[in-house]
Amino acid sequence: MWRVTLTGVVAHRLRYALTALSVLLGVAFIAGTFVLTDTINSTFNGLYDQIYQGTGAVVRATEPFNPGTNFTSQRQRIDASLASTVVKVPGVKAVALDIEGYAQLVARDGRPIGTASNGPPTLGAAWTDVAALSPLRLLPGGQPPRTSSQVVIDKHSADVGHFTVGDKVVVLTQQRPATYTITGIATWGSADSPLGATITAFDPVTAARVLGQPGKVSQIDVEAAPGVSQSQLVSRLQAAIHNPGIEVVSGQAVTAEGQETIRQALSFIGVFLLVFAFIALFVGSFVIFNTFSITVAQRLRELALLRAVGASRRQVMASVLGESLVIGVVASAAGLVAGIGLALALKAGLAALGFDLPATGLVVSPRTVIVGLLAGIVITVVSAISPARRAARIPPVAAMQDVAAESRRPSVRRAARGAILVAGGAAVLGAGLFGHAGNRVALVGAGAVAVFVGIAILGPFVARPVSRLLGAPLAMRGTAGKLGQQNAMRNPSRTAATAAALMVGVALVSLTTIVASSMKASVTTIINSAVRADYVVSSGGIAGGASGFSPQLERSLDALPQVSATAGIRSAVVKVYGKVTPVVATDPVKADPLFNIGVTQGRLAGMTSSGIAVSTQVATSQHLRIGSPVAMTFPSTGTKTFTVQVIYSVREVAGDYVLPLAAAEANFPQALFGWAIVAALHSQGITHLVIPVPQLLGVAVLAGLAGIVAAIAPSRRAARLDILQAVTTE
């Protein structure tokens, strides 16, 4: 029997090859995703191990709360003078003052190097001469920065910007932009740069001034003396410092933190690609189902003959499932290989976006192989179950009769099942789209799948009337048209199954189109309604990220004779009512005329330094009125209490909380001005649903054309059919 299966697959290899393609694509996306993320992770695990090899311990400020993966850590800086205490602790061989902050390199054409909005971070750092504690390795011919006008930059930026030692470069920091001389070019460990981030290293004094605050450092890195373990070092340092605001962590812990950060930062790539894999396999399951249904119908007599000469139902079913298993295995294996190729292509694609990855061998873990194979095989076999069951039900007497391929009328039970799935799926989808509870993405996904499957089940009911309607103009034009119309109506299940694969495709394209249009409309509406200003200057930085521009800029803009009013907006991540939330701060008096945030109570211009403005939504959910206290925890300065002085209704621009500038100056870790509208979109997303009818109609027409094009080859084969053969066989 197994032999019947195998020879059957070989005999129908062309048809199955096309079926296998969809499985192959799905598996390739899964495997490619895993290979890529595993490779990147393993690369960075190696790099971090390398970089922190000489780091025994790190002394830094404690973090009041973990800002989460969407926001960079906003630890408070510590006093540089603490280093003198640290260096006296027994077992400490050397210390380095570690200062990190925002520094944007500017290329010769005046454009920033690296895409600040969505690309890798643009980092500034302090140069340290303790080689064991420095991730930067100077390339031959370079010198460390020694004066306030010298910098060392990473090799990736040097390559991208065509800089060599001795060149001048403009660097943007929170201070005024300044021109520096490049004294050296360095690698980050053995990599050109971490993930394509740009690094500018200043001498420690300059670094403190342009990146942070004079006399303050981000952290103190400590090298252990020989024979002193990391845990010994950590406990000695803790004893010596003895300050609840300062923590000491081992080099190993910092290594693990860095590796985890990279892993989480890259997880978005994984999610994005796995969604593609899921869609490919979902469409694939329709194609497989269809192919097997057709094969079973065509091999009716062969299968009946098997039954007649003594094959059991179970054997016939196993034979069909066996074919699907063979196809699943072959397609999944090919998919794994294709996935490795895809990983290479994606790596190149990421490099093109600025995420440069060091060249290393690809990591193909057992998990990649197991998950990839399993997903491909299970999908293929499961999709073939229903056709296989139909094959098993073929009566043996069909081998002797000219039984037409069954075209049973779809049953009432089928209709009920389809209707329940569509209704249930729509409910879940609705809950996911408009509800607030649970994992909304999972709800939307599950709901969409249920609706698809439900519509596919209902397809046969629709196929007959739709075929009649759409075929009517053809049928009026002659016999050939009428035959086509009748043929589509004859077996509505087959017609519906064929259409299903196309349906999924059209649905996905439509969804993307609607989301894109809605997003665009939402942005436009927000800006039109809420921003009275004529211009918005934005660095396009990530929420709470180390980007933005100097407060100087606001003063410079104010000074321009053409400008009548400006309002700088600052941002930070805080914890309020138990949630990590981005907040903005601005000068209420200056912002009042520029923004229309729908103030319902209080006056923006009347806000004091201890006041806060909250959205009506927060006011309602937390029962806040004018005068109510709001406790807000800042990463740097801990918990502060503000008094509600304004309640406003338009959350799209301002988010849920607006602080006065004075509060930001006291509590925000970075003295940068930055995003306003970008932040609003992060928290708000789509507010306006737009259905672009012409585009959607275009998609439908294209899909119809695709269907016709796909039918050309089979039609030609049908037209070339030898007449005598057609009469004699069957």
Partner 1 sequence: MTIPSGQATETLEAAAAARIISGVKIYGKGATTVRALDAISADFGAGQFTAIMGPSGSGKSTLLHCLAGLDRLTSGQVLVRDVDLGSLDDKAMTLLRRERIGFVFQAFNLIPTLTARENVVLPITLGGKKPDGAWVEKLARSLGIADRLAHRPAELSGGQQQRVATARALVTRPDLIFADEPTGNLDSRSATELLTQIRQAVDEYSQTVVMVTHDPRAAAYADRVLFLADGRLVRELSAPTADRILDTIRELSEDG
* Interface residues toward partner 1, by CB under 8 A: 1, 3-4, 7-8, 10-11, 301-302, 305-313, 315, 395-397, 399-400
- Of 573, 586, 587, the C-alpha closest to 541 is 573
Instruction: Tell me whether residue 313 or residue 490 sits nearer to partner 1 (CB atom).
Output: 313
Smallest distance, partner 1 to C-beta of residue 296, A: 15
Instruction: Tell me whether residue 305 or residue 449 sits nearer to partner 1 (CB atom).
Output: 305
Smallest distance, partner 1 to C-beta of residue 460, A: 23
Q: Helical H runs in 52-181?
A: 82-88, 155-161
Instruction: Tell me whether residue 70 or residue 315 sits nearer to partner 1 (CB atom).
Output: 315
Q: What share of the chain is helix, strand, coil (3-state, %, to 5)?
A: 55, 15, 30
- Of 293, 294, 316, the C-alpha closest to 304 is 316
Instruction: Report the alpha-carbon distance of residue 39 to residue 624 in Å, rounded.
Output: 50
Instruction: Tell me whether residue 7 or residue 143 sits nearer to partner 1 (CB atom).
Output: 7
Smallest distance, partner 1 to C-beta of residue 316, A: 10
Instruction: Tell me whether residue 399 or residue 659 sits nearer to partner 1 (CB atom).
Output: 399
Half-sphere exposure of 274 (CA within 13 A, CB side): 14
Instruction: Report the alpha-carbon distance of residue 229 to residue 690 in Å, rounded.
Output: 62
Smallest distance, partner 1 to C-beta of residue 477, A: 35
Smallest distance, partner 1 to C-beta of residue 3, A: 7
- Of 487, 456, 493, 492, the C-alpha closest to 471 is 487
Instruction: Report the alpha-carbon distance of residue 173 to residue 555 in Å, rounded.
Output: 16
Smallest distance, partner 1 to C-beta of residue 371, A: 33
Instruction: Tell me whether residue 190 or residue 298 sits nearer to partner 1 (CB atom).
Output: 298
Smallest distance, partner 1 to C-beta of residue 403, A: 12
Instruction: Tell me whether residue 392 or residue 546 sits nearer to partner 1 (CB atom).
Output: 392
Instruction: Tell me whether residue 13 or residue 111 sits nearer to partner 1 (CB atom).
Output: 13
Smallest distance, partner 1 to C-beta of residue 318, A: 11
- Contact at 8 Å (CB) between 559 and 606? no
Neighbouring residues of 366: CB distance < 8 A, sequence distance ≥ 6: none
Smallest distance, partner 1 to C-beta of residue 436, A: 54
User: What phi, psi does 632 have (nearest 5°)?
Assistant: -130, 130
- Contact at 8 Å (CB) between 241 and 248? yes
Instruction: Report the alpha-carbon distance of residue 328 to residue 22 in Å, rounded.
Output: 10
Tokens of residue 179, six digits: 């021109």
Instruction: Tell me whether residue 153 or residue 300 sits nearer to partner 1 (CB atom).
Output: 300
DSSP β-bridge partners for residue 194 = none
Instruction: Tell me whether residue 394 or residue 653 sits nearer to partner 1 (CB atom).
Output: 394
- Residue 89 CA: distances (Å) to CA of 83, 241, 250, 559: 10, 9, 15, 52
Instruction: Report the alpha-carbon distance of residue 167 to residue 179 in Å, rounded.
Output: 10
Smallest distance, partner 1 to C-beta of residue 21, A: 23
